[in-house]
Amino acid sequence: MTLHVIMPNMPPRKKTIIEPAIEPIEPEVVEPTVDDLEPQEEETFTFKRSHFYAIVTVLAFAVGMLLGYVVWGFEPDGGQALTTQSAGVSA
């Protein structure tokens, strides 16, 4: 049986030392332009499409639950109505 080597041993990486180039930093003078003096437009709020769909899904679920509660819970079913009436008659 022969042993297959998937990855051969590699020599350690030699890191070369690079001297950083140091240059003096001069402050940049920025003069105001006409565009800077005009009022800027309001920034708009943006969000991802997936976040929009997540919010719509939660709202659709909540509206569906509320609508179901209103439609089916508005009138009590017959069994519940009979129980309430018989309790009132025997008292």
Whether 23 maps to a domain, the answer reads: no
Whether 56 maps to a domain, the answer reads: yes
Q: In the chain, how many domains are there?
A: 1
Mean predicted lDDT score pLDDT of the chain? 76
Structural domain boundaries, residue 62: 47-75
Among the listed residues 49, 71, 68, the one whose alpha carbon sits nearest the alpha carbon of residue 60:
68
Whether 61 maps to a domain, the answer reads: yes
Show pLDDT as tens, one digit a residue, over the chain (91 residues): 667 777 778 777 788 877 777 776 777 777 766 665 666 678 887 888 999 999 999 999 999 999 998 888 766 656 655 555 555 555 4
Q: What is the DSSP string of 48-77?
A: -HHHHHHHHHHHHHHHHHHHHHHHHHSS--
Whether 63 maps to a domain, the answer reads: yes
Confidence (pLDDT) at 21: 72
Whether 10 maps to a domain, the answer reads: no
Confidence (pLDDT) at 54: 96
pLDDT in tens, 56-65: 999 999 999 9
